[in-house]
Amino acid sequence: MITKYNITMINTCKAYVNDKEVTEAEEGTEVTIKAEPAVSGTEFNGWTTTTEGVTFANASAATTTFKMPAVDVEITASYHATNADPVTPDQTPNIPTPYYPPSIPTTATATTATTPAIEIKKYNITGMQDAQNVNALTWDAIPEASAYSLYIMVGDKYVFVQDLGKATKADVVHAANGKYYVSTGKDYTIYEYDSKKGTFTNTGTLEASKIDSINKANNVTENFMVKYTVDGKESAESNSYKTSVKSYYKPALNITAGKGFIRVTWLEVDGAEAYKAFKVANNRLKPIIVTDKHALRVNGTKPGIEYAYAVKALVDGEWTDVYRSDVVRVTAK
């Protein structure tokens, strides 16, 4: 029996399979999604989803694709206003009604300019000691806004973390020990959550050059919110754009050569179901083994020959990618 899963499209957008509009699809099917032309005064601002397992080919393109997972999916087309007039306390903003995800009101208030469109970019940086993951948040500047502030969801509520001034980007690192590191372009400020007070506390700073030494939390979903202040009033939660990102990092490799053998080891990746080791030759990955161990010994190596290896982790049913920077090399003894 063939199982099909539901596709729910929110806002003026539709899903297609083989150029035919659909509301359901089988697992593994390539689904094309198209955003309708924006109404006057608005423009398409990207695709968002709360369904794990959905990866857009291009989240900023009005027409893009994704592979159907084995679950029902919900996808939203986001739009934002492009011609909002300046807002003063005694003036109602003269902007057309924009399209936003359901959690964001479609009518601006007297103290609201344009809801900042937040974009998440994930940078996976591997190193010899650790595999790093930095969540870089960026959002559109609001001419009328005097400041922005960052909130992170703890449990079921957003908790204030840091005033960001007029910055329109922030790097947020979640450490495995629960601490958060926040930077707006300089050093990182360290925050710890006090469960008794229900607040984040500033506990110091860390030089930007040392962020690679932090052991990151992995296989966790982070929920962020940016509020903005206009005429001394901070935007309400319902009018502040939110975004979330699931953090992964790759196995961090170390390689050593002994007489006639090479040993490759890697750090455990939280939530990994298995690891796949590869020999790298002529820029191609040649599979060696799939294992739940964290080490590999290769015997019969020839002295003076350079060998290269890479390892993928299987997390939530998907293998992590391998780039040139992920490959480790050693000359055999």
Q: Final residue of a domain: which of 50, 82, 107? A: 107
Inter-residue contact 152 to 164 (CB < 8 Å) = no
Q: How many residues are present in the chain?
A: 333
Regarding whether 126 and 245 lie in a shared domain, the answer is: yes
Same domain, 264 and 153: no
Let me know whether 132 and 194 are in one domain.
yes
Contacts of 8 (CB under 8 A, 6+ apart): 23, 72, 73, 74, 75
Residues 209 and 303 in one domain: no
Tell me which of 249, 264, 293 is where a domain ends. Answer: 249
Residues 181 and 150 in one domain: yes
**182 and 274, same domain (yes or no):** no
Question: In Å, how far are 5, 6, 13, 29 from 70, measured between CA atoms?
Answer: 7, 10, 22, 10
pTM flag (> 0.85): no
* Amino acid, single-letter form, for residue 153: M
- Going 170 to 129 to 306 to 248, the CA torsion angle's sign is negative
Query: Are residue 165 and residue 226 in the same domain, yes or no?
Result: yes
- Which residue has 């968002």 as its token pair? 48
pLDDT, residue 270, reads 74
Q: How many domains does the chain have?
A: 3
Nearest to 218 by CA among 193, 252, 169, 243: 252
> For residue 271, how far is the Cα from the chain centroid?
17
Q: State the residue for tokens 């490799």.
A: 253
CA dist 268 and 253 (Å) reads 10
Which residues, in sequence order, are CB contacts of 104 under 8 Å at separation 6+? 115, 238, 239, 241
> Residue 92's pLDDT is what?
36
pLDDT of residue 289: 92
Domain at 145, CATH number: 2.60.40.10
% helix, strand, coil for the chain, step of 5: 5, 55, 45
What is the reported pLDDT for 250?
Answer: 73
Residue 326 sits at φ, ψ, to 5 deg, of: -90, -10
Q: Are residues 145 and 243 in the same domain?
A: yes
Say if residue 144 is in the same domain as residue 219: yes
Asked whether the beta carbons of 167 and 148 are under 8 A apart, the reply is: yes
- Give the separation between CA 255 and CA 123, rounded to whole angstroms: 24
Q: Which residues of the chain have pLDDT under 70?
A: 1, 38-42, 80-133, 218-219, 246-249, 325
91-98 own/partner pairs: CB under 8 Å, 24+ apart: 95/41, 96/39, 96/40, 96/41, 96/42, 97/39, 98/41, 98/42
**Distances in Å between the alpha carbon of 129 and those of 77, 132, 210?**
40, 10, 12
Cβ contacts of 260 within 8 Å, gap of 6 or more = 299, 300, 301, 332, 333
Q: What is the structure's pLDDT at 107?
A: 33
Verify that 276 and 245 share a domain, yes or no: no
Q: List CB contacts of 183: < 8 A, sequence separation 6 or more.
A: 170, 171, 189, 208, 211
Shared domain for 223 and 262, answered yes or no, is no
Please indicate, yes or no, whether residues 185 and 244 belong to a single structural domain of this protein. yes
Could you tell me the residue range of the domain that residue 180 belongs to? 114-249
Q: Torsion over CA of 142, 50, 237 and 201, rounded to 10 degrees?
A: -100
Chosen domain end from 249, 267, 302: 249
